[in-house]
C-alpha cells in the first residue's frame, strides 16, 4: 500500500469504510454473519458443522457469494489498467443499488447475497502485477503490516510508514459504526447510502486516475 501516492491511501480508506458500513448492516440483519469478513464466516462454518447445520449452510453460501464477487471483479479489471479500478467501483455501486432494491421488495436473502458479491468484487479495485495490492474488506493482514511498520519505526525506520494501514483499518471501523447507526434508523434501506458512496468513490477515483502518471495508477 505504501507504494501508492497518498491520494490512493484516502481512496482505499473510503472503500474500506463502505465495506465496514455494508458488513455492519449484514451483521445486524443476520445476527452475527458477515458479507466482507470471510475469516469470521469460515469460523462460523466450522462451528456450524459441529452441530448447527443451518448456520453452516448460511456461512458457506456467503463465502461462495463473496468468491463469486472476487471472480467478477477480476474479470472487470482483468487488464489491471488505470481504468480498471473505477469500473469495478461502478459495478460495486450497481450491485449495492440492486441489493437495496431487492430488499425493498422483501427479497432479503437475495439482497444479502448480492452484498457479499459486491464486497468480493470491491477487492479488485487495486491491482499490481496481476494481484490484489490493497485488500479493502479484510483487516487482519492490514493490522499485521501496521504492527510491522510500527516496530520498524521504533527501531529507527521510516516514521510514518504505518499510517496508510492505520487509515485503512480506521475507515472500516468508522464505516461499521455508521452502518450500524444507519441500520438502526433505516433498516436495509441504509444499503442505498452505501451504493451512493460507492458511486461517488468511482467518480473520484476516475478523476484521480486521469491526473496520475500511468506508473502510479492501480
Burial of 68 (0-12, 13-18, 19+ CB in 10 A): middle
Average pLDDT in the chain? 90
pLDDT reported for residue 101: 98
Cell matching residue 100: 437495496
pLDDT at residue 135 is higher than 90: no
Q: Distance (Å, rounded) from C-alpha 14 to C-alpha 28?
A: 21
Decide: 22 and 116 in contact? Cβ < 8 Å.
no
Q: Give the closest residue to 202 by CA, choosing from 54, 97, 102.
A: 97
pLDDT reported for residue 215: 47
Decide: 56 and 165 in contact? Cβ < 8 Å.
no
Decide: 38 and 122 in contact? Cβ < 8 Å.
no
Report pTM: 0.91
pLDDT at residue 37 is higher than 50: yes
Amino acid at each position: 500500500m505504501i507504494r501508492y501516492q497518498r491520494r490512493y491511501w484516502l481512496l482505499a480508506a473510503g472503500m474500506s469504510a463502505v465495506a465496514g458500513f455494508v458488513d455492519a448492516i449484514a451483521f445486524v440483519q443476520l445476527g452475527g454473519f458477515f458479507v466482507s469478513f470471510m475469516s469470521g464466516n469460515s469460523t462460523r462454518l466450522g462451528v456450524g458443522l459441529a452441530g448447527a447445520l443451518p448456520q453452516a449452510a448460511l456461512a458457506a453460501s456467503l463465502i461462495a457469494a463473496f468468491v463469486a464477487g472476487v471472480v467478477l471483479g477480476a474479470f472487470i479489471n482483468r487488464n489491471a489498467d488505470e481504468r480498471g479500478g473505477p469500473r469495478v467501483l461502478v459495478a460495486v455501486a450497481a450491485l449495492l443499488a440492486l441489493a437495496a432494491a431487492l430488499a425493498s421488495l422483501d427479497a432479503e436473502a437475495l439482497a444479502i447475497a448480492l452484498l457479499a458479491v459486491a464486497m468480493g468484487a470491491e477487492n479488485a479495485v487495486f491491482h499490481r502485477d496481476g494481484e490484489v495490492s490493497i485488500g479493502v474488506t479484510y483487516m487482519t493482514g492490514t493490522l499485521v503490516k501496521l504492527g510491522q511498520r510500527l516496530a520498524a519505526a521504533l527501531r529507527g525506520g521510516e516514521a510514518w510508514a504505518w499510517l496508510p494501514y492505520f487509515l485503512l483499518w480506521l475507515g472500516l471501523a468508522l464505516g461499521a459504526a455508521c452502518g450500524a447507526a444507519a441500520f438502526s434508523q433505516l433498516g436495509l434501506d441504509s444499503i442505498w447510502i452505501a451504493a451512493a458512496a460507492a458511486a461517488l468513490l468511482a467518480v473520484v477515483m476516475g478523476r484521480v486516475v486521469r491526473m496520475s502518471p500511468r506508473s502510479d495508477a492501480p
